[in-house]
Amino acid sequence: GAGVSQSPSNKVTEKGKDVELRCDPISGHTALYWYRQSLGQGLEFLIYFQGNSAPDKSGLPSDRFSAERTGGSVSTLTIQRTQQEDSAVYLCASSLVGDGAEAFFGQGTRLTVV
């Protein structure tokens, strides 16, 4: 597609429910990133996929968080048993691999846990 697409744009869920957030990266971008941004804060790294390599999961805050990337394209971030502190904007980005390659961001999914 023309840009990084994320869905849904907004999600309100009850505490304890599971949620799935979707990211469709720019075609041809082998690298895909998930970040979390709480209100007024910076971007917190969650997970990174590159090609067929094992993902870098070092930023996932707990084992309730998981992500997969199917066929080297679309990615899904899953949060199980959501908690109120999970409320944030979840941003996905994709990039080419190589010097100077910038990351392109989607519009994000605003998650509210009530």
Contact between 107 and another protein by CB under 8 A: the answer reads: yes
Contact between 35 and another protein by CB under 8 A: the answer reads: yes
Write the binding mask 59 to 88 for another protein: x where contact by CB under 8 A, - elsewhere.
------------------------------
- Note if the bond before 55 is cis, omega within 30 degrees: no
Least separation in angstroms between CB 15 and another protein: 25
Least separation in angstroms between CB 2 and another protein: 14
Helix (H, G, I), strand (E, B) or coil at 24: strand
- Closer by beta carbon to another protein, 71 or else 98: 98
What are the tokens at 13?
């869920």
Which residue type sits at 19? V
- Closer by beta carbon to another protein, 53 or else 62: 53
35: enclosing H helix or E strand: strand 31-37
The β-bridge relationship of strands 109-113 and 88-95 is antiparallel
Q: Looking at the chain, how many residues does it have?
A: 114
Beta-ladder partners of 65:
79
Contact between 100 and another protein by CB under 8 A: the answer reads: yes
Binding site for another protein (CB under 8 A): 31, 33, 35, 40-43, 45, 48, 50, 53, 56, 91, 93, 95, 97, 99-108
